[in-house]
Amino acid sequence: MGKLITIDPVTRIEGHLRIDVEVDGGAVKNAWSSGTMWRGIETILQGRDPRDAWTFTQRICGVCTTVHALASVRSVENALGLEIPLNAQLIRNLIITTHALHDHIVHFYHLSALDWVDVTSALKADPAKASQLAESISSWPGNSRHQLEAVKAKLEGFVKAGQMGIFSHGYWGHPAMKLPPEVNLLAVAHYLQALDIQRKANQAVAILGSKTPNIQNLAVGGVANAINLDSPSTLNMEKLFQVKTLIDEVVTFVQQCYLPDVAAVAGFYPDWFKYGAGVTNYLAVPDLPTDEKMTKFDLPGGVIWNGELKVAHDIKTWNDDYLKQNVTESIAHAYYDGNWAKGPWDEETAPKFTGEWKHETPAPDRYSWVKAPRLEGKPAQVGPLAQILVGFISGHEPTVRWTKAALAAVKAVHKIDLQPAQLHSTLGRHAARAIRCAMLGELAQKHWKLLVENIGKGDTRIWVDPMANLKPGIYKGVGFHEAPRGTLSHWTVIESDGKSMKLKNYQAVVPSTWNAGPRDDKGVLGPYEKSLVGNPIADPKLPLEALRTIHSFDPCLACAIHTVDAEGEEIARVKVL
């Protein structure tokens, strides 16, 4: 008899996500992704000055604050056709890279590693053996026997006190856990060290953005970081060097700890390079502009269809008409009035709830508040994997080098020859995130240098006035950002009388909508949905495997899994953090 596993909301921050999985014969037969992603920003922004929009949009999501702020100012700048001073581009790029490093490190170590790491097994580890093993792979200084003994003692202390602290909700002892005790101990030690490193990445964001989690330094037209290398109250040499020190420390961690850890863990789970591919159409947009006109970028964009290792459409700039004309959102299976697929500038939001979905299968016709974004009418996966594949194929030097380094690291530890094509998978998404971090770390160092050099030339410009050449009319713009979870776009329609501006429409097409969206008008599954089909499920009561695949996308939501059989009877409910 088929069983249905449901991932259900337990939180309303940034909307919630629910995944229903029909399980038969130990594997997933069918899947539905539904949720209440943010669906009200246009109501709040209607009629406001577009220069204020970013302060509101950065509140859409408490974890992705900077990304929604950036996409918003870029959207208004794009509409008005502004050129942005180089210092502002580079300061923004440093915020983008340090924020992404922070976000990816937290995702791997603190939000998803425990899908693969059995903390209780670490109690059986021999710290000396673990240290030897680690030192044979990496020169990271956090692997000494002494340090690993201390971590083990800490865990033992938790157990003696009768509770596991932060590790109390885990799948300990699950048959799908495969790491030896020593590797588990290393992972727990690095979990702890990563907590410290992610704070450093966050500090860099705070210095540049004046504050975190909600940065204060953006403005339509540039940034508000006054530059005077000798003044204590502005962006000065001392602050720039603080940022550099923090970036360097994070880069060391990524190269010596994060990337080797992903390689070491992944090699114990070779099957997971087969599961979870799902939708193998990919979309990434260029980011990290290196000029004022935004014609040159340090991160490449492009489109891949059907997992073919060739870039079908090379996206060179944010003004590529291809994106403006080919991105649509379908509401065929979402709780909105009508049955259209429209471009974001033309969308209206008319909610029409058609009743709660219990647990019946197949799902009712309308089952999600999330719209289904499509590219040329087809679903596309976004995120680090999309970006790494586009970069690898198009010969983006740091991407190629770090992808090869990651594949070589797996081979060195496990004697497994992985091919780039195997990155279309659950573990491929984890590997891509680590590769992206290694690459972004280098780019952060590069852009720091570019900023210091540019200031050194005497350029202190940080802002252009968006009102300077304003004429009456309607302006349409789109702000793209390759965010930690993938391609983000904010779409604005602005009305101006020549003296002031008002927002007429505002739509955010966010990465998790691309990935977590429902079926479209043709019944084609979204990336989450398709990636789950074929996943093994050893125990429907503890659906760890479904969690692994969903976590690999890095959903910025919390949810819970509960299991029911085909008749809708609940078997179990599991929290997903």
How many CA atoms within 13 Å lie on the side-chain side of 72? Answer: 26
Q: Please pick, from the candidates 3, 4, 6, 14, the single residue that binds another protein as defined by CB under 8 A.
A: 14
E-state strands within 308-418 = 313-315, 327-330, 341-342, 372-375
Q: Which is nearer to another protein, 60 or 84 (CB)?
A: 60
Q: Please pick, from the candidates 34, 66, 72, 202, the single residue that binds another protein as defined by CB under 8 A.
A: 202
Structure tokens at 234: 């502005």
Give the distance from CA 176 to its chain's centroid. Answer: 25
Binding of another protein by 106 (CB under 8 A): yes
Answer for the pair 546, 561: CB distance below 8 angstroms, yes or no. Answer: yes
68 is catalytic: yes
Beta carbon of residue 134, minimum distance to another protein (angstroms, whole number): 20
Q: Please pick, from the candidates 44, 229, 416, 452, the single residue that binds another protein as defined by CB under 8 A.
A: 44
Please work out the total of residues on this chain that contact another protein, with binding judged by CB under 8 A.
41
Which of the residues 272 through 291 are near another protein (CB under 8 A)?
A: none
Q: Which is nearer to another protein, 125 or 413 (CB)?
A: 125
Structure tokens at 329: 């959102």
Binding of another protein by 61 (CB under 8 A): yes
Binding of another protein by 63 (CB under 8 A): yes
Structure tokens at 198: 């992610």
Answer for the pair 549, 535: CB distance below 8 angstroms, yes or no. Answer: yes
Beta carbon of residue 62, minimum distance to another protein (angstroms, whole number): 3
Among 34, 42, 64, 131, which one carries the catalytic annotation? 64
Beta carbon of residue 53, minimum distance to another protein (angstroms, whole number): 11
Binding of another protein by 245 (CB under 8 A): no
Q: Please pick, from the candidates 62, 395, 498, 568, the single residue that binds another protein as defined by CB under 8 A.
A: 62
329 is catalytic: no
Give me the residue label for tokens 């540049």: 208
257 is catalytic: no
Local structure of 500: helix, strand or coil: coil
Q: Please pick, from the candidates 33, 65, 112, 505, the single residue that binds another protein as defined by CB under 8 A.
A: 65
Q: Please pick, from the candidates 165, 338, 362, 395, the single residue that binds another protein as defined by CB under 8 A.
A: 165
Give me the residue label for tokens 């097409």: 509
How many CA atoms within 13 Å lie on the side-chain side of 8? Answer: 16
512 is catalytic: yes
Binding of another protein by 224 (CB under 8 A): no
Q: Which is nearer to another protein, 215 or 264 (CB)?
A: 215
111: Cβ contacts below 8 Å, ≥ 6 apart:
551, 554, 577
Local structure of 566: helix, strand or coil: coil
14 is catalytic: yes
Beta carbon of residue 47, minimum distance to another protein (angstroms, whole number): 4
Among 34, 75, 99, 559, which one carries the catalytic annotation? 559
Q: Please pick, from the candidates 198, 225, 381, 425, the single residue that binds another protein as defined by CB under 8 A.
A: 198
Q: Which is nearer to another protein, 36 or 290 (CB)?
A: 36
Beta carbon of residue 196, minimum distance to another protein (angstroms, whole number): 7
Q: Please pick, from the candidates 124, 154, 296, 522, the single residue that binds another protein as defined by CB under 8 A.
A: 154
Strands 501-509 and 486-497 turn out to be: antiparallel
CA torsion angle for 114, 115, 117, 119 (degrees, to 10)? 50
DSSP-assigned beta bridge partners for residue 72: none
Strands 559-565 and 501-509 turn out to be: unpaired
Q: Which is nearer to another protein, 48 or 541 (CB)?
A: 48
| Calpha distance 577→562 (Å, rounded) | 14
Cα distance from N-terminal residue to C-terminal residue, the chain: 29
- Tell me which stretch binds another protein (CB under 8 A): 103-111, 245-253, 258-266, 433-441: 103-111
Question: Nearest to residue 391, comparing CAs of 430, 440, 427, 426?
Answer: 440
Q: What is the CA radius of gyration of the chain?
A: 23
Binding of another protein by 239 (CB under 8 A): no
DSSP H or E segment with residue 17: strand 17-24
556 is catalytic: yes
Phi, psi (deg, nearest 5) at residue 257: -125, -60
E-state strands within 108-263 = 218-219, 222-223
Which of the residues 455 through 514 are near another protein (CB under 8 A)?
A: 500, 502
Instruction: List, by residue number, the catalytic residues.
Output: 14, 61, 64, 68, 485, 512, 556, 559
Binding stretches for another protein (CB under 8 A): 10-14, 40-41, 43-44, 46-49, 55-56, 59-63, 65, 106, 110-111, 154, 165-166, 192, 195-196, 198-199, 202, 212-214, 500, 502, 556, 558, 577
